[in-house]
């Protein structure tokens, strides 16, 4: 086994294990911490592919900012009540099992189809990528995909405004007087 | 990591040496902090053990190692014990990406009946193409350490401290990230070595088709990004949880914040983590705004020329002495900024929490945005109107 293969299998193992523990843990805080672990190992996987910029951004945005906020909010909840509501109930149990079946089917389908997708002619050759791929990424993002980029920006702004409006209308510390 | 076993070994040793340098610098910094604070406050500070009180550090280390290792009753064992270890990791990994000197070039040589080399060893743990993004990403993981410690201790003061600290780190990360955008636009690269090399020689730039040269100023980022420097430096104080932003500890309100329940060596590891963040901040400020490892007024080529004429004759010797000179220049600037961190800690009082949040979100973030836009406009005008 080469070093690259070893690193890949190790990181995949970490990603899958921590991903599983996100759903298996009873306490939401540990779920969130496991999710952060998944993000970091995914970033490391990106780095092994030579996509250092995406790896860095993945860590900064998801692991460093979004998940920290999740953990902070979870720590402020009364977790005993949350845990009870989270694990009790037959309906949600049945839903969970159905979801696992659905996911397993999806994975099998993707694995069966994946070979065909990978064999498509416009697969990028990793060896041909430029040394500093962040520049190429920026050019593609701000030239070819500029509309999608800007549209996503507007969408996120709408979400932010909506959140503030909801928080102010439903009472709480920021309610309108 | 390298093409053969020799290069891989040296690169591995380099990582260990940088780690040890960082850890060994902490006792000295603690000594500087205690003696410095004493002189600022008109006291003497620890001066009984050894010359100038330097042996106090050894005594402290022995004390820390011998303290009782205890687990609070309501603590979560896994989080409580892993948090101090995690406190060290992000700081040390991030510091390895900062360039400390010109690369060391070794000619081909014979060893154990085989020809080796030639080699080029960068004076840093590893040279990574997207240096800034990497360092920001890795050091942003430090928030988890604090959260793990706060939650794992099973103590309300710890949890309050952890929540404050992580909210503060997230808030100031925005201002920190935005204040560097101007620097990235100025140098046009993410790579720290390229940034340092862009700052060599006297100040010279082209503005609207004219080449401007100011021979008495070094070509440092500080003169192009003064606002960026102020914002970045202020935000790093908040990121490393130092005064005036150390609300996470706030001993008047929270006992000691997230490390209330920690004692002995576990607390020391949090301490080392905090100093590691200070070192990253000092290293980054040096690299972005003060020419990194460059000697002011001289380019690396001129220094190499000087060494070749006066100090060494073999190519290996020339390269080694050049590297050492640049290493020393780096450490002088680095030490100055570390001293500045310590001086500020003993000069300014602590902020109130709402003042801290107002400063981060309502003052520094808008100014960082303004700096970004201003830099973009100036660069556009400078290059496109001749």
B76: contact with A, CB 8 A cutoff: no
pLDDT tens-digit profile of B257-306? 787 888 778 888 888 888 888 899 999 999 998 888 888 878 888 888 88
pLDDT value for B149: 86
Q: Report ipTM for this prediction.
A: 0.76
B144: contact with A, CB 8 A cutoff: yes
Per-residue pLDDT, averaged over A74-99, amounts to: 70
Contact A56 B133 (CB under 8 A): yes
Per-residue pLDDT, averaged over B246-250, amounts to: 72
pLDDT value for B368: 92
Residue B55 neighbours by CB distance under 10 Å: 14
pLDDT value for B44: 83
For the record, the structure tokens of B133 come out as: 């993004």
Contact B190 A134 (CB under 8 A): yes
Percent of chain B having pLDDT more than 70? 98
**What domain range includes position A58?**
1-88
Residue B57 or A118, more confident:
B57
Where residue A64 sits, what CATH number does that domain have? 1.20.120.1200
pLDDT value for B2: 65
Shortest CA distance from A67: residue in chain B: B144
B195: contact with A, CB 8 A cutoff: no
pLDDT tens-digit profile of A57-83? 888 888 888 888 888 887 777 666 655
Compare CB distances from A75 to B134, B159, B191 and report the shortest one's residue: B159
Structurally, how many domains does chain A consist of?
A: 1
pLDDT value for A89: 62
Residue B219 neighbours by CB distance under 10 Å: 20
In a domain, A23, yes or no: yes
Q: Give the least confident one: B149-158, B201-210, B299-308, B357-366.
A: B201-210
In a domain, A67, yes or no: yes
Residue B50 or B78, more confident:
B78
Q: How many CB pairs under 8 A join A and B?
A: 74
In a domain, A133, yes or no: no
Alpha-carbon distance A45 to nearest alpha carbon in chain B (angstroms):
14
**Helices B264-289 & B142-152, crossing angle to 10 degrees?**
160
A75: contact with B, CB 8 A cutoff: yes
B159: contact with A, CB 8 A cutoff: yes
- CA separation for the pair B254, B269 (Å, rounded): 20
pLDDT value for B366: 92
- CA separation for the pair B19, B253 (Å, rounded): 34
Residues of A in contact with B175 (CB under 8 A): none
pLDDT tens-digit profile of B82-138? 888 888 888 888 888 888 888 888 877 777 777 777 788 888 877 777 888 888 888
Q: DSSP label at A144? A: T
Residue B322 or B113, more confident:
B322
Compare CB distances from B129 to A71, A76, A132 and report the shortest one's residue: A132
Percent of chain A having pLDDT more than 90? 11
Residue B362 or B166, more confident:
B362
Give the mutation candidate from A36, A55, A60, A62 for the B interface (greatest B CB count, under 10 A). A60
Rg (CA), chain A: 21
Phi first, then psi: give them for residue A37, nearest 5 degrees.
-60, -40
> How confident is the prediction for chain A on average, in pLDDT?
79
Contact A65 B173 (CB under 8 A): yes
Residues of B in contact with A68 (CB under 8 A): 143-144, 147, 166, 169-170
Contact B133 A75 (CB under 8 A): no
pLDDT value for B82: 87
In a domain, A42, yes or no: yes
Phi first, then psi: give them for residue A109, nearest 5 degrees.
-65, -45
End-to-end alpha-carbon separation of chain A, Å? 66
A60: contact with B, CB 8 A cutoff: yes
Shortest CA distance from A58: residue in chain B: B137
pLDDT tens-digit profile of B28-71? 888 888 888 888 888 888 888 878 878 888 888 888 888 888 88
Q: DSSP label at B294? A: P
B205 Cβ contact partners less than 8 Å away, ≥ 6 residues apart = B211, B212, B224, B382
pLDDT tens-digit profile of B135-175? 888 888 888 888 888 888 888 888 888 888 888 888 888 88
Contact B133 A68 (CB under 8 A): no
pLDDT above 80 (res A163): yes
In a domain, A98, yes or no: no
Shortest CA distance from A76: residue in chain B: B163
Say which residue the tokens 């007087």 belong to: A177
How many CA within 13 A on the CB side of residue A140?
Answer: 5
Alpha-carbon distance B248 to nearest alpha carbon in chain A (angstroms):
14
Identify the band that residue B371 occupies on the pLDDT scale cut at 50, 70 and 90: very high
Compare CB distances from B170 to A36, A69, A131 and report the shortest one's residue: A69
Residue B298 or A39, more confident:
A39
B185: contact with A, CB 8 A cutoff: no
pLDDT above 70 (res A84): no
Say which residue the tokens 């706030």 belong to: B250
pLDDT value for A150: 92
In a domain, A83, yes or no: yes
b (16+ CB within 10 A) / e for A147-176:
eeeeeeeeeeeeeeeeeeeeeeeeeeeeee
> How confident is the prediction for chain B on average, in pLDDT?
84
Find residues 14-33 of chain B whose CB sits inside 8 Å of chain A: none
Contact A56 B134 (CB under 8 A): yes
Shortest CA distance from A72: residue in chain B: B163
In a domain, A57, yes or no: yes
In a domain, A13, yes or no: yes
A76: contact with B, CB 8 A cutoff: yes
Contact B216, B201 (CB under 8 A): no
Give the mutation candidate from B97, B136, B144 for the A interface (greatest A CB count, under 10 A). B144
A52: contact with B, CB 8 A cutoff: yes
Shortest CA distance from B159: residue in chain A: A75
B13 upstream amide cis, omega within 30 of 0? no
Residue B332 or A84, more confident:
B332
């Amino acid at each position: 086994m080469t070093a690259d293969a070893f690193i890949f299998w190790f990181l995949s193992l970490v990603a899958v294990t921590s991903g599983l523990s996100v759903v298996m843990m009873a306490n939401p805080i540990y779920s969130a911490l496991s999710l952060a672990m998944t993000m970091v190992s995914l970033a490391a996987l990106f780095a092994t592919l030579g996509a250092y910029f995406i790896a860095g951004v993945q860590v900064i945005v998801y692991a460093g900012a979004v998940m920290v906020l999740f953990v902070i909010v979870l720590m402020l909840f009364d977790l005993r009540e949350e845990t009870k509501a989270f694990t009790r109930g037959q309906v949600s149990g049945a839903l969970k099992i159905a979801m696992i079946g659905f996911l397993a089917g999806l994975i099998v389908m993707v694995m069966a189809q994946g070979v065909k997708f990978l064999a498509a002619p416009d697969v990028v050759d990793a060896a041909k990528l430029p040394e500093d791929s962040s520049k190429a990424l920026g050019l593609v993002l701000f030239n070819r995909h500029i509309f999608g980029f800007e549209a996503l920006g507007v969408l996120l702004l709408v979400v932010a405004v909506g959140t503030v409006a909801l928080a102010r209308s439903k009472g709480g510390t920021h309610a309108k007087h | 990591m390298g093409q053969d076993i020799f290069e891989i070994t040296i690169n591995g040793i380099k990582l260990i040496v940088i780690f040890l340098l960082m850890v060994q610098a902490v006792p000295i910094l603690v000594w500087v902090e205690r003696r410095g604070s004493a002189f600022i406050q008109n006291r003497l500070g620890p001066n009984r053990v050894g010359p100038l009180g330097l042996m106090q550090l050894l005594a402290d280390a022995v004390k820390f190692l011998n303290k009782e290792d205890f687990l609070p009753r309501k603590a979560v064992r896994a989080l409580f014990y892993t948090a101090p270890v995690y406190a060290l990791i992000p700081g040390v990994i991030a510091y390895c990406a900062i360039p400390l000197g010109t690369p060391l070039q070794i000619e081909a040589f014979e060893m154990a009946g085989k020809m080796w080399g030639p080699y080029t060893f960068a004076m840093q743990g590893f040279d990574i193409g997207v240096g800034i993004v990497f360092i920001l990403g890795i050091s942003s993981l430090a928030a988890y350490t604090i959260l793990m410690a706060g939650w794992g201790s099973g103590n309300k003061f710890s949890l309050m401290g952890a929540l404050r600290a992580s909210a503060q780190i997230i808030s100031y990360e925005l201002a920190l990230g935005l204040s560097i955008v101007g620097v990235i636009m100025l140098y046009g690269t993410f790579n720290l070595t390229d940034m340092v090399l862009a700052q060599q020689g006297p100040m010279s730039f082209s503005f609207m088709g004219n080449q401007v040269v100011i021979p008495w100023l070094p070509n440092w980022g500080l003169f192009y990004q003064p606002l960026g420097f102020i914002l970045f430096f202020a935000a790093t104080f908040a990121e490393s949880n130092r005064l005036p932003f150390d609300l996470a500890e706030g001993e008047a309100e929270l006992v000691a914040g997230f490390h209330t329940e920690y004692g002995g060596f576990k607390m020391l590891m949090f301490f080392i983590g905090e100093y590691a963040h200070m070192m990253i901040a000092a290293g980054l400020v040096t690299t972005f705004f003060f020419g990194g490892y460059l000697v002011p007024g001289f380019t690396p080529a001129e220094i190499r020329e000087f060494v070749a004429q006066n100090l060494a004759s073999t190519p290996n010797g020339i390269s080694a002495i050049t590297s050492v000179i640049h290493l020393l220049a780096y450490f002088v600037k680095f030490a100055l900024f570390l001293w500045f961190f310590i001086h500020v800690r003993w000069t300014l009082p602590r902020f109130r929490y709402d003042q801290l949040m107002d400063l981060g979100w309502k003052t520094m973030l808008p100014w960082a945005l303004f700096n970004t836009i201003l830099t973009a406009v100036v660069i556009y005008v400078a290059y496109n109107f001749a």
